[in-house]
Chain A
Amino acid sequence: MAYDKFTILKSSAVPLPIENVDTDQIIPARFLKATKREGFGDNLFRDWRYNSDGTIKTDFVLNNPIYTGKILVGGRNFGSGSSREHAAWAIYDYGFRCVVSSFFADIFKNNSINIGILPVTVSEAFLDQIFVAIEADPATELEVDLEQQTISIVATGASESFDINGYKKHNLLNGFDDIDYLQAMKTEILAFAENK
């Protein structure tokens, strides 16, 4: 399914300064029983957000109303573990459109781009700067410019560039997806299969 175009995103951000956030934390397996992709946001970070009796854990960042926005900022090695695309769906369904970290697990990164969430990899130092800025002022805005491949902290002007391959960038900017691309080259694929 093709998705929304991603051009420039200016938003406050939600900080999650924990390393190795695995996809079992993002969406626990017991919530993977649906047969459609909508609705997973309710259970995003389920066991960090809620106690076992369903009451809210007040010390978790998503339950703190001073932190809002469409950008999630996570610690190093974000999205490790299971290949469940449900993790990306949950992040999207909750309202995030961009995840920032100093390092992403491969499958999570692919899954995110494939549904229109932009994973932005920054240096360890810049990630720390973002966490410090948000801690000082929870309303801190970040600006992610996909065309320019830059991410900046709006108030200070501190900025860093990020990598993305030209093909994926073009897809995100235009809301295209891989299935469109593959359908357009079906004859070539059939010929390849024939010659194998």
Chain B
Amino acid sequence: MASTLFDKVWDAHVVRKIEDGPDVFFIDRHFIHEVTSPVAFLGLESRGLGVMFPEKTFATADHNTPTINQHLPVEDPLSANQLKALESNSAKYGISHWGLGDPKNGIVHVVGPENGITLPGMTIVCGDSHTSTHGAFGAIAFGIGTSEVEMVLSSQCIMQPKPKRMRILVTGTLNKAVTPKDVTLYIIAQLTTAGATGYFVEYAGDVFENMTMEGRMTVCNMSIEMGARGGMIAPDETTFAYIKGREKAPKGADWDTALAYWKTLKSDDDASFDKEYHFNAADIEPMITYGTNPGMGMGITRSIPKAVDLEGGVATYQKSLAYMGFAEEEAMIGKKIDYVFVGSCTNGRIEDFRAFATIVKGRKKAEHVIAWIVPGSHLVEQQIQEEGILDILTEAGFALRQPGCSACLAMNDDKIPAGKYAVSTSNRNFEGRQGPGSRTLLASPLVAAAAAVTGYVTDPRTLLS
């Protein structure tokens, strides 16, 4: 029977099917970080359980780490305590740990792929909803809760009902200044923030085929923002070229065996999906959000929709606009902004900083704007230096911070103050997400750059030659 990419990977990992219940689902790779793992380790202790396959779990500290002066002791005692717990739990059970200061440290969804831990055909979970990022490699990857972290540690399995299949095709040629972030914000705006709940998405079509791995990761990362459990893209030569030679990637004969398997990982021509969407690349322009969920986005030159023209509750919509300090039918272009954040597991990879640099090169940061430029990992930080991007940033008045999740969720000190507007390359514009009272406009690194140098929401096309 014809099957989808998703079916092929899912079915190969079912240990047991429970009648009228979930599948017992085997996990190949498990990432943990300091915030969602401590209680899982407490659970193991209270039950007297061990870690079944410590070599399949990888720990890195990222959510709660400072992005300056990482060589100094962490000041916040609660944060320091979480980081210490991750370190001691990892040591106790023999789990690889890339703590603060380790050259491999960085955001979990950046360091996993760049070290060759993430591979096609795998099942990958982490106590973090943006685990969907790893689907860019043709893996089934999704976020789990802490109870499930405990399950994976103790049995390498979780209990999951199989999601339905959705395919999203985007075909054609992307317009100037339209990046993978714009493609995903466009899709989410079409489907809404709950439009893919219950589904696992396969992204297909030449737009994704022509994307780099960094771009594919941005798209798969945001799958959760339309409610999908995850999103994946069939692996191809771009994928294999990215993986080859990375530290933990297969080598020699193992590589050949793996490659032969990876090449089988695609949906059969006559495979069917429970739901399909087809979008035209030409319809997408640089995007920006105006509300308090990622589905509230639009082309940057458009005006904020009227509540009556949208599905869903008018009261919820108006509450959202009131929080943002915006009104129906207003234009976003020209709105004054206070902060710019470039980074996160969505847009904290080298390609994102290259894009940012194309606009800030030869310009200056707007005086009233505070900008936080945060690489996703030390490797990205190093690339920024080696490629001369750091010089461009410095000359334009921007400083580079140290790797971590930073202002994406504002658990550390990188908080946008109440009432301030931030153009952010991260993934969520929820109320208070970037600090209590903060107002987030989600966008691509190009839109962030245009805002950073002008101080206002600006169409990046007007700044590109």
Q: Give residues in A with beta carbon < 8 Å to B.
A: 1, 17-20, 22, 24-25, 28-30, 32-37, 47, 52, 75-77, 80-86, 88, 103, 105-107, 110-111, 114-115, 165-168, 177-179, 181-183, 185-186, 188-189, 192-193, 196
Contacts of B159 in A (CB 8 A): 167, 178, 181-182
Contacting B430 at CB < 8 Å: which of A76, A81, A88, A167?
A81
The answer to whether the Cβ of B156 comes within 8 Å of any Cβ in the partner chain is yes
Chain A proximity mask over B116-160: 1 for CB below 8 Å, otherwise 0: 000000000001110000000000000111111011001111110
The answer to whether the Cβ of B42 comes within 8 Å of any Cβ in the partner chain is yes
Which of A17, A33, A114 has most chain B Cβ within 10 Å?
A33
Q: Determine whether the beta carbon of A182 is less than 8 Å from that of B144.
A: no
- Specify the main secondary structure of chain B where it touches its partner: loop
Residue of A nearest to B76 (CB): A33
Which of A52, A115, A192 has most chain B Cβ within 10 Å?
A192
- Please name the 8 residue pairs, one residue from A and one from B, whose CB atoms are nearest each other, closest first: A167-B21, A166-B20, A85-B145, A111-B145, A83-B143, A33-B78, A35-B38, A114-B147
The answer to whether the Cβ of B437 comes within 8 Å of any Cβ in the partner chain is yes
Contacts of B18 in A (CB 8 A): 167
Q: Determine whether the beta carbon of A30 is less than 8 Å from that of B410.
A: yes
Q: Determine whether the beta carbon of B319 is less than 8 Å from that of A20.
A: no
Contacts of A76 in B (CB 8 A): 194, 312-313
The answer to whether the Cβ of B30 comes within 8 Å of any Cβ in the partner chain is no
Contacts of A177 in B (CB 8 A): 147
Question: Which of B79-87, B202-210, B341-349, B367-375 is near enough to bind chain A?
Answer: B79-87
Residue of A nearest to B127 (CB): A83
A128 to chain B, nearest CB (A): 11
Sampled A-B contacts (26; CB under 8 Å): A18-B315, A24-B409, A24-B431, A25-B430, A29-B433, A30-B415, A32-B411, A37-B42, A47-B431, A47-B436, A52-B418, A52-B437, A77-B194, A82-B409, A83-B36, A83-B144, A88-B145, A105-B194, A107-B143, A111-B145, A165-B20, A178-B158, A179-B49, A182-B155, A182-B159, A196-B26
Contacts of B410 in A (CB 8 A): 29-30
Complex CA gap A1/B76 in Å reads 30
Interface band, chain B: 35 or more
Contacts of B129 in A (CB 8 A): 81-83, 107
Residue of A nearest to B77 (CB): A33
The answer to whether the Cβ of B193 comes within 8 Å of any Cβ in the partner chain is yes
Q: Determine whether the beta carbon of B155 is less than 8 Å from that of A179.
A: yes
B128 to chain A, nearest CB (A): 6
B344 to chain A, nearest CB (A): 13
Complex CA gap A25/B437 in Å reads 12
The answer to whether the Cβ of B316 comes within 8 Å of any Cβ in the partner chain is yes
The answer to whether the Cβ of B403 comes within 8 Å of any Cβ in the partner chain is no
Q: Determine whether the beta carbon of A168 is less than 8 Å from that of B21.
A: yes
A43 to chain B, nearest CB (A): 12
Q: Determine whether the beta carbon of B15 is less than 8 Å from that of A188.
A: yes
Contacts of A33 in B (CB 8 A): 35, 64, 76, 78-79, 81-82, 411
